[in-house]
Amino acid sequence: MAEVFRTIKGRPVEEYLVELPGTARAMRSYAFELEAHAEVVLEAARDFSLMIGRPFEENAKITSERESGNRWNVWLDDTGNERQGAASSIEFGRLPGMQEGTGAMAGLEILGQAVQILKDRHRRSLR
C-alpha cells in the first residue's frame, strides 16, 4: 500500500508548490491575463449599459494585487465611487440602489466571463 505525504520539508504541499519559481511566474501570468480579459469585458459591459440607457459607475476598474507568497487576487474595484457596493451591483447586473431583479442588465458578470475566456484559451492550448 502506498503512503501519501501531505507535507514537503515540513510545509503543506500547496504552500510548497506555490513558492516554486515556475509556479510564481505562472500565477503572475494568469493574474495579468485575467485582469486584461476582465478589462475588455468591463468595457463591453459599459458600452452595453450606455446603449440600453442604464450606465453604471464610471470609476469601477479591474485591479490585481499580490497576496502573501505568490497568491494573486483579481477583483472589480469600486473604491473612489460615491456609492458603496457599486462593484457588486455591476457584477450582479443591476445599478446600485436598485432592488434585486429590477433593472437587470444582461451579460455582465464581468469576472466570471473573464475567467471563462481564460479557461477556454488555456484548454485549447493544452490540446
Give the domain range for residue 56.
10-126
In a domain, 50, yes or no: yes
In a domain, 80, yes or no: yes
Give this prediction's pTM. 0.70
Instruction: Check residue 80 and give its pLDDT.
Output: 66
Looking at the 3D structure of the chain, how many domains does it have? 1
- pLDDT tens profile 94-118: 554 555 544 545 445 788 888 888 8
Alpha carbons 83 and 81: distance in angstroms, whole number: 5
In a domain, 71, yes or no: yes
